[in-house]
Chain A
Amino acid sequence: DAGVIQSPRHEVTEMGQEVTLRCKPISGHDYLFWYRQTMMRGLELLIYFNNNVPIDDSGMPEDRFSAKMPNASFSTLKIQPSEPRDSAVYFCASRVFGGGTEAFFGQGTRLTVV
């Protein structure tokens, strides 16, 4: 397996534009997580899914953020409209059901909003 795959690796966009980040979890993993990493706030959990269903979105900062998981192999995180303070590295991670299982991270998407 190629691991968790995220695209794009880097995204530069202008304030006000829509941004869509993509994630392909490891095949067979039941859980998918979206994290945001900044120097100030560290690794923040934004939302996570179990079997494609959103379980907890309490970390999503504002209504400008939305996430979907239309099937077991694909998830998106959308920001509309984007703002400079959204600049961060966004990580997707996946885990398989079973106590004490490792969460595998993707390479991340570095988002810069100018």
Chain B
Amino acid sequence: GENVEQHPSTLSVQEGDSAVIKCTYSDSASNYFPWYKQELGKRPQLIIDIRSNVGEKKDQRIAVTLNKTAKHFSLHITETQPEDSAVYFCAAGDSSYKLIFGSGTRLLVRP
């Protein structure tokens, strides 16, 4: 069945440094790759997404890259701030509209 693997499970960076989270997916039919941020005790919320016809997308300090051949996609956060501390989830979706999530990365930004 579909599977999304996410690494690392935890990531600690100094404020101002960059953070990179990587995901791989198994279903070659996947064509939509969102990233969600979940703060403690709150709901997951979309921060950025990318479709399979695009290799890279940026939104201020956040960027996502996609390598369809290798079935890899990554989240890049530059100039990290303490408020970036949260759990980040990648996901993969296809034409069936269901989203399969990775296991999550707990990001800690140290002031």
Contacts and interface: CB of A to CB of B under 8 A. Distances in A.
B43 A43 contact: no
A88 interface: no
Interface string B11-44: 0000000000000000000011010000000111
Interface of A: 31, 33, 35, 42-43, 45, 48, 50, 55-56, 58, 91, 95, 97, 99-100, 102-103, 105-108
Contact of A99 (B1, B32, B46): B32
18 contacts: A33-B98, A42-B89, A43-B44, A45-B99, A45-B100, A48-B97, A48-B98, A56-B98, A97-B97, A99-B31, A99-B32, A99-B51, A99-B95, A102-B46, A105-B43, A105-B44, A106-B43, A107-B43
Given A31-B97, A35-B101, A42-B104, 14 more contacts: A42-B103, A50-B97, A55-B96, A58-B1, A91-B43, A99-B32, A100-B31, A100-B32, A100-B49, A100-B51, A102-B49, A103-B34, A105-B44, A106-B43
Contact of B98 (A45, A91, A99, A105): A45
B46 A42 contact: no
Q: How extensive is the interface on chain B, given as a class? A: 20 to 34
Interface string B88-111: 010000011111111110000000
Contacts, number: 50
Ranked nearest first, the 10 interchain pairs of A and B with the lowest CB-CB distance are A43-B101, A105-B43, A42-B103, A100-B51, A102-B46, A100-B32, A31-B97, A105-B44, A48-B98, A42-B104
